[in-house]
Chains A and B, each alone.
Chain A
Amino acid sequence: MYPLPISRWHPTSRLLYRLSLPCALLLWLMPLIAVLLTSIRSSDELSAGNYWGWPRHFNLIENYRTALTQTPMLHYFWNTCLITVPSVAVSIFLASMAGHALANYRFRGNLLVLAIFVAGNFVPIQILMIPVRDLTLRLGLYNTVWGLVLFHIAFQTGFCTLFLRNFIRELPYELIEAARIEGASEWAIYARVVLPLVRPALAALGILVFTFVWNDYFWALCLTQGDDAAPITVGVAALRGQWTTSWNLVSAGSVLAALPSVAMFFAMQKHFVAGLTFGATKG
């Protein structure tokens, strides 16, 4: 192991290391702690100038209730759910099929298709903006949740296909051959052999794509206007514009916007990290 495990350190250094951890953590998470504290601060305290000290009164319930009832926060939150859930489910489903096709079938242009998927992932998203906006308008989906869903499905499918193709390729090909010898149809090979084996990869991707789509701001700005279909990221930014001095309410809104992604991450850490670092260990 590198660096030298602390069990082999001098006891004093070991103690210092242990003490340094919480300090470093506190410093690192300062911005996050500040938001959490501000979100439970009362407005009186803010107007008295206590922005960063320990709050004297805890206004947790009132602040969050105001943020949820006096502002369209709940509506934005619901929009984001409507956008995120189908985007994640469908893009992973489509990508698992495409990944299977690219990994287990040898047809002409296989590598070319893969290369296009890879290249598409690294393109600056701005180059897609005007045509995608135009397309969404022509489909009559501008300013609807579905316009965003369709785009996210398409874009994330590219990323997921690349990922799943590499994952499926690592599976022993003999399994598929064996299934073929037993007379399984091509669909059965996909659904009964490949899919169950890539479940960990699907979980990793699901959580990853969930945070990507949940946190998206750019496409929400491009494909929506006003409150109808706006997701929570746009909502929080709008809230800041309207409630410039109510830091506590905007903080409460921010916490609500960030909570699902953070919760998902902590609930499924192992999968998340596995997905994110896929390919970080081999050349």
Chain B
Amino acid sequence: MSTTLFGKIRQRGHARSKAPAPLSRRRNRAALLFLLPGALLFSAYVIYPIISSIVLSFYQWDGMTPRVFVGLDNYRELLQSDTFYTALKNNLIWLLLFLAAPPAGLALALYLNQSMRGMRLVKSLFFAPFVLPGVVVGLVFGWFYDPTYGLLKLIVGHGIPVLGDPRYVTYGIIVAALWPQIPFCMILYLTGLTAINSEIIEAGRMEGARGFQLLWHVILPQLRPATFMAVVLTVIGALRSFDLISVMSGGGPFDSSTVLAYFMYDQAIKYYREGYSAAIAVVLFLIMLIFITWQLRRLFRNES
């Protein structure tokens, strides 16, 4: 198939150098029409807003009166704001602790990768937290941590105001966020594990590899695509974290659990500081850009 496709490209390249053949023009038009509705909507709601936010970050705007150009002032103010550094630090904590999800998911997948009756149901039940709305997860863990009635108090014996204490609040929310993220990684690994050629594993066993050795030298290299997906999506999930923070702590107490995503929302919705808020979003975007570039490089490598 690849040779015929290649032949096609060459032919088409040839045709373009003279006059485009009517047939290929008709096809190009068809492709354009197929692409247009989706691309237009996507441009209006995703591409244009990205550019618009970047531009807005150089302005001061309350959402109603005309905007005023202020140059880099928003960024300058940001660099002097304590909350910004708190948010940045919390983002980093989120990122690091959230990366526990892929190994934990792998462990869970290895634990559950057995075929016996009812196993599918067990796997599905383990996976269930992933399909819950973030709001519900937040509520549930909020009750769990409740210092007067919560289950945590029952287990530990005394109430710990996890969500009311600046020292614990971020960690408390991350634990709640890991609950759906771990089974997500688990399912990626389970699929990866079933796709491994069993002959490779048996060959490894023949050579005398056992347990952890087999996992490290034979299984993990085979699971690389799953690991890649798990890490990328976990990183994105960590940087996007909003729902749980909004429901569980509202960024508090005293902004101690805020992250860039929440800080930005807060400034725009509560204080109508749209330009400043856009500047925060741009910073978040720049951080994410590292991962986007990584992802795109992979795409181009696969295609060429």
Contacts and interface: CB of A to CB of B under 8 A. Distances in A.
B72 interface: no
Contact of A131 (B53, B246, B285): B53
Interface in B190-205: 191-193, 195-196, 198, 201
Nearest to A239: B139
A283 B136 contact: no
A130 B192 contact: no
A173 B35 contact: no
B262 to A, nearest CB: 9
Interface residues of A, number: 98
B299 A124 contact: no
Given A101-B31, A150-B45, A32 B128 contact: yes
B188 A132 contact: no
A100 B52 CA distance: 30
Interface string A250-283: 1000100110011011100100010011011111
B113 A31 contact: no
Nearest to B1: A173
Contacts of B1: 172-174
**Max chain B C-beta neighbours (<10 A), residue from A2, A18, A187, A254:** A2
A124 B292 CA distance: 10
A158 B113 CA distance: 33
B243 to A, nearest CB: 5
A113 B149 CA distance: 53
B102 to A, nearest CB: 12
A3 interface: yes
Nearest to B263: A126
B187 interface: yes
Contact of A2 (B34, B214, B226): B214
B41 A153 contact: yes
B302 interface: yes
Contacts of A146: none
Given A2-B113, A97-B34, A187-B30, 13 more contacts: A29-B129, A31-B137, A122-B292, A126-B284, A128-B45, A134-B63, A173-B1, A174-B1, A221-B265, A247-B143, A254-B140, A257-B136, A281-B191
The 10 closest A-B CB pairs, nearest first, are A154-B45, A131-B49, A105-B31, A186-B30, A101-B34, A98-B38, A277-B191, A215-B133, A154-B41, A131-B52
25 contacts: A2-B110, A2-B218, A3-B110, A5-B114, A6-B114, A6-B116, A18-B116, A25-B126, A31-B137, A95-B38, A105-B30, A105-B31, A105-B34, A107-B32, A117-B42, A120-B42, A124-B281, A130-B281, A131-B56, A161-B42, A172-B1, A217-B247, A262-B131, A277-B191, A280-B188
